[in-house]
Structure 1
Amino acid sequence: MLHPKSPALTVGLVGALAVRRLCACPGACQAGFPWRLGVALGYGERSNPPIQSRDIPVAVDLDIAWFGKRFFFDNGDLGLTFMNRPAGTASFVVRANSDRVFFSRTSTRFVSVSVTGAPLATPAPLKPPKRRYAIETGVEYLVDGRWGRMSLAGFQDVSSVHNGFGADLEYGYAIQGRRWTLEPSILLRYKSGELNDYYWGVRAGEASAALPAYDAGDGLNWQLGVRSSYYFSRRLRFVATFNHERLNADAAHSPLVEQRAVRAYFGGFAYSF
């Protein structure tokens, strides 16, 4: 078990190394090495919104990807590209829903008041209920140009975990100097009622004197981010990232949620193999 402040080794958790782009799609690497391998060493942290949870410190962030003619693996995502044109790239993608990560560092505590502030007759245990990873499939469309980059994706649960769906729309614009890059971005993330309620709702069988039942509907998260790099060589660079994601109202009002925003940052040295 990790100590609450033990740095973790992660794969793409804070996005320090790579964002899937048109230039890093299947077919683009065929003239050279099909692998994209990188490691970033430094320090960062990702906040955890649930009650009784600990933030996730990050010391090592990995970038592991492989691009074939049509198939690819990109930091846990499996994909099949069915359209690859100058105007954009479209792929079928299989992934694990990332909301489950929030419930991986929680603990039980005895409390004398409920999460709503009501006093309890006797101390009661309080711990977020368990949640499972959902396997989702969907379509992702990537396009970029001098105006920036944009990605549009929609995913449906195929593992019968939450039976819901979600959609992402992201735009980023890279400003480039001789040795540095700076890319601000904005992301809109829609979550259906089934998806939102599975992770942030409290079912009758999970409710207690300390944790009331709660039904969550659909909602829209938004995220602002910035990524920067300073290159010492083609392979070695210093990276810094920051993301601020605002949870939708139905998730934020859940008795499981203590923090409405998810913040992630990382700074360190990255090496691409």
Structure 2
Amino acid sequence: MNRLKLLFLSAIFIPFLSWGDIDVPCENDLECIEVGQWDLGIAFGYGERSNPLKDYSDIPIYLVPTFAYYGDSWFFDNGNIGYTLVEEERYTLNLSTSFSTDSAYFQRWDPSNIFLAGSNKFEANSIAANGRTLLMSDEPEPDVGPLEKRRFTYLGGLDAFIYTRAGIINLSVAHDMLNVHQGTEARLKWLYNFPVQNWNFEFALRLDWKSEEVVDYYYGVRESESPYWNQAYQAKSALNVGIELTTHYVMTQHWDLIFLARYTQIADEIANSPLLDQDHTSTFYLGTSYRF
């Protein structure tokens, strides 16, 4: 995970050295949405989002809708609403909303599932597994009972884009708007588009920070679920690291092929939760899309 963080930070730093004269054209129709026009589409195919939660199935993905509208200032993009405060050649600053992505693991029809996102240490008389220390190696780990509902929420805050010759830097900070967990999330993301004739490749690296309130609400253990783990696991703020690749191939004016792959290394502060049995999650999707 440290190597992935180093790769990410290097990719973030290099674009600022390449500020220069910025020219961000739309190389093809996939990159830009015409102002004042609805952009509607739907993808057909198959994909899957792995679920790091114990006893929860991976999430299949078949249909992926797309609908967006950008006016002079207001915009709507796949369920998210925003207002552009500042728009310059080198940067844009928006007020915007976003979905809570953590609730997607608990609910099959969460919006994030529709719109498509350590080593073991041995010590004397004890064993640490996934960061949790058991008193005796032959003593079974206490079970967690049926989980209470983890609710979806809507986040709202500031979203900034900085345009450089070496890619786009996206920074955002958002707070819980529906008073579900009263937590805050922040994102730092580097994107690079590489168009080649009918092909378009988008590569991204991202850091996702979640406050203690977010981690505790989704991955903490309620007393009704397990009195033991309610005391043994203490939530802390966490920083996930992710990498993404999205590929489009334009076949006709309306049809194109799409391939998406994402990998997220889950922070130890979350992976240590007894609700999880994996320290990572991945998503892939392969299909064809139609744009109206």
Correspondence for 1:76: 79
Q: Please give the root-mean-square deviation of Cα atoms over the aligned residues, in Å.
A: 2.7
Structure 1 residue 47: deviation in Å?
Answer: 0.8
Structure 1 residue 168: deviation in Å?
Answer: 0.4
Q: Which residue, 247, 259, 262 being the options, matches 1:240? A: 259
Correspondence for 1:269: 288
Query: Cα gap change, 1:22/1:183 in structure 2, threshold over 3 Å: closer, same or farther?
Result: same
Q: Which residue, 138, 146, 151 being the options, matches 1:132? A: 151
Correspondence for 2:34: 29
Correspondence for 2:96: 93
- Give 2:266's aligned amino acid: L
- Percent identity of paired positions between Structure 1 and Structure 2: 30
Structure 1 residue 126: deviation in Å?
Answer: 3.3
Structure 1 residue 64: deviation in Å?
Answer: 1.1
Query: Cα gap change, 1:83/1:49 in structure 2, threshold over 3 Å: closer, same or farther?
Result: same
Structure 1 residue 89: deviation in Å?
Answer: 1.5
Structure 1 residue 56: deviation in Å?
Answer: 0.8
Report 1:103-142 matches (<5 A). 103-105=106-108, 118-119=139-140, 126-142=145-161
TM-score (norm 2): 0.74
Correspondence for 1:43: 46
Structure 1 residue 248: deviation in Å?
Answer: 0.9
Q: Which residue, 143, 147, 150 being the options, matches 2:162? A: 143
Are the counterparts in 1 of residues 220 and 230 from structure 2 also a CA contact under 8 Å? no
Structure 1 residue 145: deviation in Å?
Answer: 4.2
Unaligned ranges ≥5, structure 2 = 1-23, 109-131
Are the counterparts in 2 of residues 196 and 217 from structure 1 also a CA contact under 8 Å? yes
Distance in 1, matches of 2:141 and 2:47, equals: 38
Distance in 1, matches of 2:219 and 2:237, equals: 11
- Give 2:285's aligned amino acid: F
Which structure shows the higher helix fraction?
Answer: 2
TM-score (norm 1): 0.79
Structure 1 residue 166: deviation in Å?
Answer: 0.9
Deviations for 1:110-145, whole angstroms, at most 9, x for unmatched residues? Answer: xxxxx9784499xx7833332112222100012334
Distance in 2, matches of 1:131 and 1:58, equals: 21
Correspondence for 1:60: 63
Are the counterparts in 2 of residues 203 and 214 from structure 1 also a CA contact under 8 Å? no
Structure 1 residue 67: deviation in Å?
Answer: 1.4
Query: Cα gap change, 1:209/1:191 in structure 2, threshold over 3 Å: closer, same or farther?
Result: closer
Unaligned ranges ≥5, structure 1 = 1-20, 106-114
Are the counterparts in 2 of residues 40 and 269 from structure 1 also a CA contact under 8 Å? yes
Distance in 1, matches of 2:61 and 2:44, equals: 9
Q: Please tell me whether residue 220 in structure 1 is matched to residue 219 in structure 2.
A: no
Distance in 2, matches of 1:118 and 1:63, equals: 50
Correspondence for 2:270: 251
- Number of equivalences: 238
Are the counterparts in 1 of residues 33 and 39 from structure 2 also a CA contact under 8 Å? no
Correspondence for 2:213: 194
- Give 2:96's aligned amino acid: V
Are the counterparts in 2 of residues 120 and 210 from structure 1 also a CA contact under 8 Å? no
Structure 1 residue 95: deviation in Å?
Answer: 2.8
